[in-house]
Amino acid sequence: MIDFSNKILFVGYGAVAECTLPILFKHIKVAPKNVTVIDFEAKEEKLRQWTAKGVRYVRDKVTEENMHSMLGKYLSAGDVLIDLAWNIDACEILQWCHDHGVLYINTSVEVWDPYAGGKKHPTERTLYWRHMNVRKMYGKWKEKGATAVIEHGANPGLISHFTKQGLLDIAGAALAEKRVKGRKAETLKDLVTAQKFNNLAHELGVKVIHCSERDTQITDVPKEIDEFVNTWSIEGFREEGTTTSELGWGTHEKTLPAYAYQHKNGPKNQICIARMGMNTWVRSWVPNYTIQGMVVRHGEAFTISDKLTVWDGKKAVYRPTVHYAYCPCDEAIVSLNELRGYNYKLQPKLRIMNDEITKGADILGALIMGHTFNSWWVGSDLSIEESRRLVPHQNATTMQVAISVVAATMWMIENPSEGIKVPDELPHTYVLGVSKPYLGKFISTRSDWTPLRDYENAFSGFNKPDFDVKDPWQFKNFLVKDGD
């Protein structure tokens, strides 16, 4: 428990914020009267138990026009802003917080109108583009200023810490089992001690990292026709699912996928595909089975591949391929299928499941591939029962996000003058230390899985699967394509 005597403002009180608020009060000793929640939808009922204790609720919308005056009304230097809304321009709100000495956290980097400019080049619609704009902005600042942690939810967020833990566990097992010997073993030990994660990933031979997620939460209140059902923000999911697929592009990759575009500026660690993330499917794995997941663009693909790059001057000599492989809950899969039929026009009814979930879990982790063990998965397998035990009426998906927001907020309060930070720049031991009690089963396990291990060709001799059987870690082996 840490003390905090300043103010905290939540913008957005949806699925994630609802789960975050009770956990925040468990870990941060702050007077309820110092906490304000802004949401433009009616949240009186959902907030009743908190407003009764003194939390203030304001029904309003933060817009491009009123953002400065509204934030100024509730925040001053040393206060904390927790942004769990959607479509608030990250550069503008970060600049405001920097100018006013306010600590800031969000779980995704967003813009005012993500659907504007449908004719823009695919590279300009990417998260990479947004990150470059954030970099340009803070490049002009004279000092780092108040801490602002961006993209610190579950993924992006915890997944960066799982990745670091995984690299250390792979190295530990490789050393313990004497899979590396002599000089190589000494090098590995030194990299572990120094926690040089880019060199460590390189030395271990890591080629690909998936954020692999299977949400098995099911319900006895099935999706209705014209309804989108999910376990977290439907607006957020639609926005990221219907735009370009994006991935960190490894130095071992031999051929770009169809419709791939590369960036002209910055570290150029990513590519994007002129194809919706929700329609870009890959083979992946969670303990202990193969899944098909979508390469929906996410911040971790950018930051993990950026931070794990090994540079020789201006040349990237090593980088793994990094991307999301998302298999959402069954209701969401059916909702997406309906959305495709409706030409991506959102259904009129939206529902985020909570109390109607009957069983299941959110299984979310870093699948680290290409090393001596083939694959290694590190992450959280959190059941609905366990998440309800931790915070009643919340689901496993929002729990994994909420605890990460609280952990990063605590770190921010303890480290208030660090400027802008991405999850990879926070200490993984601190964040995992706070988060683990909320993550259900914390798993770190090996597997002999490769994307080709379970593949069977149903039409052998009549189609032309485009695989690289010599190198299982090529992106083309993961990607589900015509002719496979």
Nearer of residues 32 and 114 to ligand NAD, judged by Cβ? 114
Place of tokens 């040089």: 196
Q: How far apart, in whole angstroms, are the C-alpha atoms of residue 245 and residue 274?
A: 7
Instruction: Give min distance, CB of 311 to ligand NAD, in A.
Output: 27
Rounded to whole angstroms, how far apart are CA atoms 224 and 228? 8
- 312 - beta bridge partners? 315
Nearer to ligand NAD, 154 or 426 (CB): 154
CB of 322 to ligand NAD, least distance (A): 15
CB 454, CB 478: distance < 8 Å: no
- Closer residue to ligand NAD in complex, CB, 198/395: 395
Task: Note whether 439 binds ligand NAD by CB under 6 A.
Answer: no
Residue choice 233, 244, 269, 477 for contact with ligand NAD (CB under 6 A): 233
Q: Is 357 in the site for ligand NAD (CB under 6 A)?
A: no
Residues 153-175, buried b or exposed e (16+ Cβ, 10 A)? Answer: bbbbbbbbbbbbbbbbbbbebbb
Q: Can you tell me which of 30, 105, 154, 434 binds ligand NAD, judged by CB under 6 A?
A: 154
Stretch that binds ligand NAD, among 90-98, 183-191, 227-235, 319-327 (CB under 6 A): 227-235
In sequence order, which ranges of 149-275 are alpha helices (DSSP H)?
A: 158-176, 182-194, 197-204, 234-241
Q: How many CB atoms lie within 10 A of CB 306?
A: 21
* Residues between 54 and 73 that touch ligand NAD (CB under 6 A): 61-62
Q: Rounded CA gap, 10 and 435, in Å?
A: 20
Residues making up the chain, counted from first to last: 484
Nearer to ligand NAD, 13 or 475 (CB): 13
Give me the residue whose beta carbon is nearest to ligand NAD.
Answer: 14
Sign of the Cα torsion 83, 85, 90, 92 reads negative
Stretch that binds ligand NAD, among 154-162, 191-199, 206-214, 434-442 (CB under 6 A): 154-162
| Residue 157 engages ligand NAD in binding (rule: CB under 6 A) | yes
Residues 211 and 364 sit within 8 Å (Cβ to Cβ): yes
Q: Are 446 and 173 in contact (CB under 8 A)?
A: yes
* Nearest approach, Cβ of residue 196 and ligand NAD (Å): 26
CA–CA distances in Å: residue 174 to residues 54, 161, 170, 178? 53, 20, 6, 6
Which of 17, 286, 382, 431 binds ligand NAD (CB under 6 A)? It is 17
Q: Could you say which of 7, 9, 10, 13 contacts ligand NAD (CB under 6 A)?
A: 13
Q: Is 278 in the site for ligand NAD (CB under 6 A)?
A: no
Strand 218-219 to 357-359 pairing:
antiparallel
The single residue among 352, 357, 378, 399 that binds ligand NAD, judged by CB under 6 A, is 352
Q: Strand pairing of 244-248 and 270-276? A: antiparallel
Position 47 contacts ligand NAD (CB under 6 A) = no
Applying CB under 6 A, which of residues 148, 327, 401, 410 lies at the interface with ligand NAD?
401
Q: Which stretch binds ligand NAD (CB under 6 A): 6-14, 199-207, 246-254, 376-384?
A: 6-14
Whole-angstrom distance between the N-terminal and C-terminal Cα of the chain?
A: 53
- Should residue 303 be labelled a site residue for ligand NAD when binding is judged by CB under 6 A? no
Burial class (CB in 10 A: 0-12, 13-18, 19+), 226: exposed
Report, in Å, the least distance between residue 78 CB and ligand NAD: 23
Binding region for ligand NAD (CB under 6 A) out of 44-52, 79-87, 257-265, 419-427 = 79-87
Residue 379 lies near ligand NAD (rule: CB under 6 A):
no
Closest distance to ligand NAD from the beta carbon of 37 (Å): 9
Rank residues 229 and 479 by Cβ distance to ligand NAD and give the closer one: 229
User: Smaller CB distance to ligand NAD: residue 174 or 352?
Assistant: 352
Nearest-approach distance from CB 428 to ligand NAD, in angstroms: 16
Question: Residue 62 — φ and ψ, nearest 5°?
Answer: -80, 120
User: Sign of the C-alpha dihedral, residues 407, 411, 413, 418?
Assistant: negative
> In this complex, which beta carbon is closest to ligand NAD, that of residue 232 or of residue 467?
232
- Catalog residues that contact ligand NAD under the rule CB under 6 A: 11-17, 38-41, 61-62, 84-86, 88, 107-108, 153-157, 232-233, 235-236, 352, 401
